[in-house]
Every structure is written in C-alpha cells, then in structure tokens.
C-alpha cells in the first residue's frame, strides 16, 4: 500500500526535496495534499506534476490564479491559514510532513495530531514554541512524531531497538556554519550574501541564517528536549565541521551510538515518511577516502550569543522559548532586509527575552499572545545608543 502524504510547505527547501523523494519512490508514496504560503507559480507546477487531491495557497489573494490553473485537472483548491488546518484532517492522508517555516506551522500540526495523523516533523519551531502542548496532545491521541531534521533523525535512528534503555545524553552536531572561527569583530561586518553561503547544506534563507548565527542549533536543542523527553542538561552540542556524523546518543553504560551519512536532507525525509522501512536509493554513498579525519570542537558561546540565549530559554522553560523564536524570526527578517546587522540579531533577541512577561505554564492562548506581542515589539526595535 502506498502512503498518501500531505506536504505542508511544499514550495520550500524541505518540501521540494520531499517531492524529489516521492519522484524517486513512486511505488511507495502518493501526494494527497500540497500547501504553500505565497509561491503560487511553483505550487501550480507541483500540483500539475503530482496531481494531489487538494492544494491550499496561504495567500488568499492568489486563490483565483491557482484555482483557474488547476481546474482542468479536477484538483480542489482552497486558500488561507484556516484552510490549511482543515485540509490536514482529510481522511485520505496517511502522514503529514510539516515543512512550513516558523511559527506558522504550529496550528496545522496541532490540527493534524488532533485528527490522528502521524507527523513527519520538519518544523522545529512547533516544538520550540509549544513543546509541552504538542507532545501531550500526541500522547493523548497516540500519534507518532517522526523527526525530519537530520540531527533528530540521527538520534531517532540510534534509538531504534533501544527504547527500553535510558538515555544519558544526546549530542547534537553543528557544522559551525560559514563563520566558524570568526571573532565578534569580524562578524560585525558580515553581509547577507556571506551568511547565506552554508558550507555543507542546501537550505532555505531563514534556516541558513539561523545556522550562520548558531540559533538553529539552539532551536534544535529545545526540539530534542521535547522529542526525546530529556532534561536540558541531557542535551550537548559539539561543532563537527564535516557534517558526516549527524548526532549521537550516549547510554547509561557509557556506550555511544552515532548515525553517519553524507549531508543530504532527502535521507531523513525519506526515513521519516517510510518508517519503519528503509527504502533502496541510488544516492551517493560515503567514501572514507574523501574524509580522512572527522573533527570536533566546542561551540563559541561568547561569539555566537544566539546559541547561548536559546540554551538559557530552554533551561527557563515556560513561554521563554516562544519569545525567543518570535524575536529571532523577526530578527532574521530584518537582517535579510538589510535593516539590522548580523550581531544585532542577538541584541534584539536578548532584549525581548529580558523584557517579556514570563508565563511558567502557558496555554495555547498565552503562547499566541506572547508571539504576537514579541513580534510587534521586535519590529519596532532600535539598537540602544
């Protein structure tokens, strides 16, 4: 039986690579639902190629263009954020790949879990913002969450067959991004173009900037805490420039397991969609001769303050990670618009974390209020004189 999949955020980096997986595995997957935010042209192209039952364009102003283009194919077309939440509950969906960028992925993920749909989670912000709510609902609905991030997929793969053995800690590996080894003085003048050149991974703009600032690794630490039911002190981060070891698990006897492979997001995407099966692929294989040494170093928390701020928010808990995420999303947006500098992103996030009202046990309404307030204040932020 083919798995019928929904791809939320099909026009983004993860979404397009997921469709590459479907294209390479036609005997295993069918596309039931595609959604996109604003890229109507690519959504139309994808729908014509994969013939899903339904598509949703988030930008309601582009509804008619998408509807008219797909009407001859009999594909149902809807528009708006609410339509995405409703579409993921359709009976014909076997697994939902949540690849929407940022906070926008939270409500559709909750709706899919509420409907009992297994989740292939590529939207780390969902667990960063509302980890307790999401994981509690998943347990109540007996819904599995399969991680798609390469680091969390690696941990998940290391844990297969080890469910009865307690974890001592997990080790998330970071490439260090394009600015590994730079000083704060050097970072003060880096440009958007430089920050968007990741040495190992091909990703969308937002996650690439997060990787350059190491915020991405902080968000992944928070995600790992919720995915694997860990305490903050059980999550360690090391810099591994080659990006071959994707993460490790250490058990209470001191033994460690690692998952290795070339840096290619199609592998964790396919593993999440096909689990528990490993499907045959023709992708390039790792060659030890090309990697005579694998190296590791400690992250520089003083220079890359975003990582330190994320780890502090994880330790604090409550709505602090929600505030962190909202402030960071705005900071990245402003940096990509050339309105603030690279180091100023950390200044903005730090100020919002310090000034936001803390809520120890937030409801969904609390989190939405924290998110909205943080974004509004962050957009009007000015560097202190």
Domains and CATH numbers, the chain: 3-147 (3.40.50.720), 164-264+299-316 (no CATH)
> For residues 273 and 134, what is the distance between their CA atoms, to the nearest angstrom?
19
Q: pLDDT below 50 — which residues of the chain? A: none
From the list 334, 310, 335, the residue with the least C-alpha distance to 324 is: 310
Q: How many CB atoms lie within 10 A of CB 333?
A: 19
Q: Give the model's pLDDT for residue 385.
A: 60
The predicted-structure confidence for 234-268, as pLDDT tens digits, reads as follows: 999 999 999 999 999 999 999 999 999 999 999 99
pTM of the model: 0.92
From the DSSP assignment, how many helices (H) and strands (E) are in the chain? Answer: 16, 11
> For residues 213 and 195, what is the distance between their CA atoms, to the nearest angstrom?
9
Query: Do strands 256-260 and 245-251 pair parallel, antiparallel, or not at all (unpaired)?
Result: antiparallel
Q: Give the model's pLDDT for residue 295.
A: 97
Tokens at 29, concatenated: 């997957």
The burial of 376, by beta-carbon neighbours within 10 Å (0-12 exposed, 13-18 middle, 19 or more buried), is given as exposed
| Geometric angle at alpha carbon 114, from 108 and 120, rounded to 5° | 60
From the list 180, 153, 151, the residue with the least C-alpha distance to 298 is: 180
> For residues 110 and 130, what is the distance between their CA atoms, to the nearest angstrom?
10
| Geometric angle at alpha carbon 218, from 58 and 181, rounded to 5° | 115
Is residue 120 classed as helix, strand or coil in its secondary structure? strand
- Label residue 274 left, alpha or beta by phi (over 0 means left) and psi (-120 to 50 means alpha): alpha
The predicted-structure confidence for 279-328, as pLDDT tens digits, reads as follows: 999 999 999 999 999 999 999 999 999 999 999 999 999 999 999 999 99
Q: Give the model's pLDDT for residue 92.
A: 94
From the list 85, 92, 131, the residue with the least C-alpha distance to 109 is: 85
């Amino acid at each position: 039986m083919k798995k019928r999949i929904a791809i939320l955020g099909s026009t983004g980096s993860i979404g397009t690579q997921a469709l590459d997986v479907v294209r390479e595995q036609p005997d295993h997957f069918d596309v039931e639902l595609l959604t996109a935010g604003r890229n109507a042209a690519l959504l139309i192209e994808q729908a014509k190629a994969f013939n899903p039952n339904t598509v949703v364009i988030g930008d309601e102003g582009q509804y008619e263009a998408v509807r008219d283009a797909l009407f001859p194919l009999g594909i149902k077309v809807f528009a708006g954020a609410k339509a995405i939440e409703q579409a993921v509950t359709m009976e014909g969906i076997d697994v939902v790949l949540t690849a929407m960028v940022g906070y926008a992925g939270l409500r559709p993920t909750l709706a899919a879990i509420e409907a009992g749909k297994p989740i292939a989670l590529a939207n780390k912000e969902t667990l960063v913002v509302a980890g307790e709510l999401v994981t509690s609902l998943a347990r109540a609905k007996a819904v599995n969450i399969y991680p798609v991030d390469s680091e969390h997929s690696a941990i998940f793969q290391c844990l297969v067959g080890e469910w009865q053995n307690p974890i001592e800690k997990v080790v998330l590996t970071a490439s260090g991004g394009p600015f590994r080894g730079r000083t704060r003085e050097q970072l003060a003048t880096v440009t958007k173009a430089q920050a968007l050149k990741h040495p190992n991974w091909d990703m969308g703009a937002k996650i690439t900037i997060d990787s350059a600032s190491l915020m991405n690794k902080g968000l992944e630490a928070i995600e790992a805490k919720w995915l694997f039911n860990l305490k903050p002190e059980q999550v360690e981060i090391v810099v591994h420039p080659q990006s071959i070891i994707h993460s490790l698990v250490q058990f209470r006897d001191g033994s460690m397991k690692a998952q290795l492979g070339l840096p290619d997001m199609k592998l964790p995407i396919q593993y999440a969609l096909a689990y528990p099966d490993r499907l045959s692929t023709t992708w390039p294989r790792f060659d030890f001769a090309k990697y005579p040494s694998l190296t590791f170093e400690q992250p520089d928390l003083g220079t890359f303050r975003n990582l330190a701020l994320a780890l502090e928010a994880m330790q604090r808990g409550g709505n602090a990670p929600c505030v962190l995420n909202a402030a960071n999303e705005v900071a990245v947006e402003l940096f990509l618009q050339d309105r603030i500098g690279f180091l100023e992103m950390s200044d903005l996030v730090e100020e919002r974390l310090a000034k936001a009202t803390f809520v120890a046990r937030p409801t969904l309404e609390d989190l939405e209020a924290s998110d909205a307030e943080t974004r509004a204040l962050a957009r009007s932020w000015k560097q202190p004189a």
